[in-house]
Amino acid sequence: MSDMAKEGPNWDGLLKWSIANSDGTRQPRNLSEEDRKWFMEAMQAQTVDIVKRMKEITLVMKTPEQELENQGVTPADIEDMLDELQEHVESIDMANDLHTIGGLVPLLGYLKNSHANIRAKAADVVTTIVQNNPRSQQLVMEANGFEPLVSNFSSDPDVNVRAKALGAISSLIRHNKPGVAAFRLANGYAALKDALTSDNVRFQRKALNLIHYLLLENSSDCNIVKELGLHRLLMHHASSEDADVREAALRGLLELARDTKDSSNASSEDNEKMKQLLEERINGISLMSAEDLGAVREERLLVDSLWSTCFDEPSSLREKGLLVLPGEDAPPPDVASKHFEPPLRGHVGNPNTKKDSNNEKKEAPLLLGP
């Protein structure tokens, strides 16, 4: 390996070089052989360093908890280490490499750690690993990672752990038919119903988004939702003070309404409750300021779509001029058929990375001695 790879890349120099050659004011020039060699060595050194560090983290994760305590490693150190690992596995290649170097199974073991923050952080890392990554989804399923996630989601005493596990499950089973089947068999819908009774808004939102996705994937699940009484909870949350919760609940209700319309199964009581709910939402929207109206555009569209689906007529939002505001595109998009999509890997890989008071990333803790 070159001296540069041994010493680590000169990132300051690389940044200056990149800016100088990518200012957007001229056509890119051909790299000299010397520049090309320097750039490739810098990239290779960084890759080698990451893999090496991931192997070190794997070694720590494999070390018994008592031994780590004997060396002065605290739960906070483990959390910081998992934060760092999450940054590394934002790359799909590195996410898949974690299994190759033996780090996936001990990471899944942290889902059963005695410390709630570590269980939650481990689920965060799993979310990043499996998101939009069929290979890692398969690896986590094969490593029996689904079971501890479902257990934490269903019954962990810490609501943050439950919410993080639900986030990991949502990413794990997305576009993953075996994962969806496993979720159904694990009585996942009953756990979702329980999540909707939580006071934690973030937990509610994640549960509602997963329900919407599952209904979009398989309309037959509408029967399960109705049998469990989940539709009543969706109606309750459609009046939430949290706008994102309201929108997520309305999306689920729209899928249920379309299924009910197709099967002609709606009861007069359900129709009356739906009408009352939508009239309340229309009234609430009518009382909003111009600024607030702009912020709830999707809710306005969803309310109108629900009314049209249930009652075969436009909602009064149209005649009031509240469906499409001045300056907004018309006709409105079909938001009802929009699938819930998680953000790109790089945007969610580490949403809760801890920062110090100066907003600088903490230096990775050295957890094991030589």
Q: Does any domain span residue 125? A: yes
User: For the chain, what is the mean pLDDT?
Assistant: 84
Joined together, the tokens standing for residue 1 give 């390996």
Q: Is position 56 within any domain?
A: yes
Angle at 344 between CA 341 and CA 350, to 5 degrees: 115
**Backbone phi, psi, residue 166, to 5°:** -65, -40
In a domain, 355, yes or no: no
Q: What pLDDT score does 369 carry? A: 42
Read off the pLDDT of each residue in 140-151 and give the average, rounded to a whole number.
Answer: 98
Phi, psi of 103 (to 5 degrees): -95, -15
Give pLDDT, residue 346.
44
Q: Please, are residues 153 and 167 in contact by the beta-carbon 8 Å criterion?
A: no
Rounded CA separation 87/242 (Å): 30
pLDDT at 329: 78
Residue 88 sits in which domain range? 46-186
Q: What is the pLDDT of residue 29?
A: 56
Chain center to CA of 95: 16
The tens digit of pLDDT for each residue in 160-218 reads 999 999 999 999 999 999 999 999 999 999 999 999 999 999 999 999 999 999 999 99
So what's the pLDDT on residue 281?
A: 97
Residue among 175, 213, 201, 82 nearest 188 (CA): 213
Q: For 99, phi and psi rounded to 5 degrees?
A: -65, -40
Give tens-digit pLDDT for 51-77.
Answer: 889 999 999 999 999 999 888 999 999
- pLDDT of 275 strictly over 60: yes
Least confident window among 35-39, 132-136, 234-238:
35-39
Instruction: Work out how many domains the chain is built from and give that number.
Output: 1
Q: What would the pLDDT profile of 285-331 be if each residue is shown by its tens digit?
A: 999 999 999 999 999 999 999 999 999 999 999 999 999 998 887 65
Whether residue 250 contacts residue 287, with contact meaning beta carbons closer than 8 Å, is answered with no
Length of the chain as a residue count: 370
Query: CA angle, 204 as apex, 172 and 217 as ends, to 5°?
Result: 45
The enclosing domain of 97 has a CATH number of 1.25.10.10
Is 218 among the domain residues?
no
The predicted pLDDT at position 328 comes to 86
Note whether residue 266 is domain-resident. Answer: no
Q: Which residue has the higher pLDDT, 338 or 295?
A: 295
pLDDT for res 46:
54
Residue in 253, 345, 346 with CA at minimum distance from that of residue 299: 253
Q: Is the pLDDT of residue 363 over 50?
A: no
- Is a pLDDT exceeding 70 seen at residue 367? no
pLDDT for 35 beyond 90: no
pTM, two decimal places: 0.77
77-120 residue pLDDT tens: 999 999 999 999 999 999 999 999 999 999 999 999 999 999 99
286 is a domain residue = no
> Does residue 339 lie in a domain region?
no
305 found inside a domain: no
Round to whole Å and give the CA distance between 241 and 331. 28
| Per-residue pLDDT, 31 | 62
Mean pLDDT (whole number) for 240-264: 91
Residue 77 pairs in a beta bridge with none
pLDDT at site 102: 97
